[in-house]
Amino acid sequence: MNPPHIPEPELLPLLSSRFVYKAAAAVVILLALTITLSFSGRWFGRHLAEAGHTASRETYDIFIGQDHLRLPANVIRFENQRSTSIVGRVDLYLTWPGLEGYGEETRPLFDDVSQLENLIFLQVAQSTMSRDMSGRLAPVYRHILQDAPQAGPEGLTRYDAKPDSSYAGEVFFIAERDERPAYVLRCVLPETTAASTSADCQRDVHMGKDLIVLYRFSSRLLPQWRAIEDSMETYISTHLVP
C-alpha cells in the first residue's frame, strides 16, 4: 500500500521581491548620499580654505558720495560688500607689488601670514575731512612731533610723537616732494621685524571727487614707500568711472 501523498511545502524565495526592492532603494539612497557628501565636502573644504575670499572677477559698481568705482569681486575684502550698491565705504586688499586680487595663483600670498609684506589693505570712503594726511602736517602733526628727527629709509625723515600727546608711541615718516604736498605716513613700529603686522603703517589721501583712501601696509615695506604711493593712486584712478 502506497503511503498517503503528503504535499511538499511550497519553496519560498530566500529574499522576497519586496525586500529586494527595499534593499535596492536603500543602496540607491546611500549612493546618492555618498555622492552628495563627497561634493558638499569638497565645496565645504574649499569654502573653508577660501576663508571669505573669492576668486570671482565679476565686477560691481560701487557708488560712494560723488564717486563711482567699478571693482572686481576678488579685490573686495568682505563678502557683504560684493554687490552693486551705494555705500559709505568699501574695503579692498591687493597683493604687493602685483596689485591683484584673490585667485588660484595668488592664494599663497593671502594664506601665508608670515609674509605680511605680500598685501596692502585699503579703505575707500567718502571724505569727511577737508585735509588728508599731507594736509594735516602743518596744522596738526608739527605740533606733536619731537625736535629730534632721524634719517629713515629711502629719503624719509623719522619723527617720534611727543610722549604727552594723543599720538604717543607713534612714529611719523615725512618726505618733501617737488611740486607736491609733503608725504606723511603714520606708523606704530614693532619692536622686532617678526612682530610686524600687515597694518604697521597707514596713510590717507584725497582722490577722485570726494574720496579719502586710507591704505595700510607692513613696516617691512617702508623702503618701497614711493612705489606704494604711486601704485595706490594709479589703482584707484584706473577703477574710477568718469
β pairing state of 59-64 and 85-86: parallel
pLDDT of residue 195: 87
Side chain identity, residue 171: V
- Report which DSSP code applies to 237: H
Tell me: the pLDDT tens digits for 99-126?
999 999 999 999 988 888 999 999 999 9
Contact 31, 25 (CB under 8 A): no
pLDDT of residue 58: 98
Contact 236, 204 (CB under 8 A): no
pLDDT of residue 66: 97
Cα Rg of the chain, angstroms = 31
Name the strand (E) or helix (H) holding 235. Answer: helix 225-239
pLDDT tens over the chain, length 242 residues:
444 443 433 444 444 555 445 555 555 565 555 454 444 444 333 443 456 999 999 999 999 999 999 999 999 999 999 999 999 999 999 999 999 999 999 999 999 888 889 999 999 999 999 999 999 999 999 999 999 999 999 999 999 999 999 999 999 999 999 999 999 999 999 988 888 898 999 999 999 999 999 999 999 999 999 999 999 999 999 999 99
Give the whole-angstrom CA distance, residue 134 versus residue 132.
6
- What is residue 219's three-state secondary structure? helix
pLDDT of residue 7: 41
Q: Cβ–Cβ contacts within 10 Å for residue 107, how many?
A: 14
pLDDT of residue 207: 98
pLDDT of residue 43: 39
Residue 154's DSSP bridge partners are none
Q: Quick one: 184 exposed, middle or buried, by C-beta within 10 A (0-12, 13-18, 19+)?
A: buried
pLDDT of residue 117: 93
- In Å, how far are 6, 8, 150 from 2, measured between CA atoms? 12, 17, 126
- What is residue 115's three-state secondary structure? coil
